[in-house]
Amino acid sequence: MIEVEIVGVRIELPSNQPLVLLREMHGERHVPIWIGTPEASAIALAQQGVVPPRPMTHDLLVDVVEALGHSVVSVNIVAVEDNIFYGQLQFENGTTVSSRASDALAVALRAKCRIWCADSVMDEAGVRITEHDEGEDTEPGPTVDEERELRRFREFLDDVEPEDFDG
C-alpha cells in the first residue's frame, strides 16, 4: 500500500464532472477519481475546515463510530475496476468495511486518519504530473496521446477553484 493525500477537488471541463485528486506522499504520481457532486462538496468543505451547523452524513458516521468507542484509523483505496474505485474503512480493532472511494475519503478527512492506495490501483490509475529533466528518465517517455492528455489535465487543474462547487 502507498500512502496518499488529498490534493483537492476539481471540476473536469467540459463535462463539469467533479473529481478528487490524490497524490502519493513519497512520489510523483497522482490518482484522479471521478466522484459525485455531493461527495465533492463533502470533501471540499472538510478540506476548507467548514463545520456545518448540523452534522452532514459523513460527520454523522464518524460521530457514531466514536460514540460506540471505536475509531477509523485509515482509509484504503483497494481496487479499481472499469473506472470504479473501491474503498475501505479500517477500524482500530482490525475490522474493515467496504465503501465507495469518495465516501471513504470524505470520512478520512473528518476522522483525520491516513489514506492508503493499493499498489495495483496506483499502477493502473496513477499518472505523473511533474515534468522530468531530460536524461533522467530510465523508462521510455509518454506517448504523444499521453502527453496531450497530461497537458489537458494540467490545464484543467490550473483553471479549477473550490468556488466552482458553490450553489
How much is the pLDDT for 12?
Answer: 82
> Does residue 104 sit within a domain?
yes
Predicted model pTM: 0.74
d(CA 65, CA 85) in angstroms, rounded, equals 23
Per-residue pLDDT averaged across 44-68, rounded? 91
CA angle 63, 64, 68 (to 5 degrees): 115
Per-residue pLDDT averaged across 128-150, rounded? 54
Q: What domain range includes position 29? A: 2-159
8 within 8 A of 48, measured Cβ to Cβ: no
- CATH code for position 47: 3.10.690.10
101-126: pLDDT as tens digits: 999 999 999 999 999 999 999 999 98
> Does residue 107 sit within a domain?
yes
The answer for residues whose C-beta is within 8 angstroms of residue 27's C-beta and 6 or more apart is: 2
C-alpha cell at 124: 493502473
